Amino acid sequence: MTDLAPARPVPWRPRWRLRPGQGSVVVAATVLTAAIVACLLAPVLWPLDQSAVALDQTRQAPSWAHPAGTDDLGRDVALRAVYGLRVSLLVGVVAALVATVIGGLVGGIAGTVGGRVDRIFMRVVDTVAALPHLLLGIFIVAMLRPSLGAVIASVGLTHWLSTARIVRSELLSLRGRPFVDAAISGGASRTRVLTRHLLPHVLPRLALATTLMIPHAVWHETALSFLGLGLPPHLASLGNMINDGQGSLLTGAWWASLAPGAVIVAVTLAIATLAARWRDRLDPRVRAELHL
């Protein structure tokens, strides 16, 4: 009887592996989760007095006490960046919802009614799209006076155009589908066809368009605050912090603008990466439609 050769040890391998392209999704999810947790816990763990200054600690370089240094008034840059991110995310989410509601209503009416109403609504969309978003946003903020509500209105009223086009095109393509014709032939009312057969196909694209719109809204709010048309200067805002920090660059205090700039780039890229992944999983054909 021959002896059996000893079995070779099987090298240990993890049960799960990242597929190609999933590494960026994991990083983006981690960054976004950390940002949301920091924003939610900031008032409890790191209470901040927006008007407090420390003139004996001005323009201190990054250290253990102040990881991102201090600004011209001695305020902690990292802590103010967290509070500024709270404002930017609030503006981005609320403004994206406002834009989605406006765009969904305009596109829904145009795609459902059709005819002359469709032509009128699309001419309005083309007219508004011909105007630069930033200039139109500045005009809206100037009319309402700089405030949080004015910034939200400015972003929401200038970013609904792509959503309106998406909803209209989707409804027009669905109106000729066999299942819609069958429902109409069966005696279903226009309201029932819209709520039971058309909206379930449109809502996922509306949700995706809202998610993709959040980074644009955050950048728009930052641009308005950088121009002095956003929140009051004493309140923490990423745009305000970048605006305040540009003067410190000439004196070598580069950290005053680095932290808010890095925060806004990291968070918006994380949202855009996750939204793009969701877009690809939803339907590869909507990539061109939802390219904002």
The mean of the pLDDT values for the chain is 79
Question: How far, in Å, are 77, 110, 122 from residue 113 at the CA level?
Answer: 53, 6, 13
- Rounded to an integer, the average pLDDT of 209-231 is 83
Tokens of 122: 């699309």
Residues 15, 33: Cα–Cα separation, whole Å = 24
> In the prediction, which pLDDT does 290 show?
44
Across 1-20, b (16+ Cβ under 10 Å) vs e yields: eeeeeeeeeeeeeeeeeeee
When mean pLDDT is compared across 7-11, 209-213, 224-228, the lowest value belongs to 7-11
pLDDT > 70 in the chain, percent: 83
- Rounded to an integer, the average pLDDT of 30-41 is 89
Predicted confidence band of residue 4 (pLDDT cuts 50, 70, 90): low
Q: Per CATH, is 24-46+68-286 categorized as 1.10.3720.10?
A: yes
CB contact set of 168 (below 8 Å; sequence gap of 6+)? 106, 107, 108, 110, 111, 118, 121, 122
Residues 288, 159: Cα–Cα separation, whole Å = 17
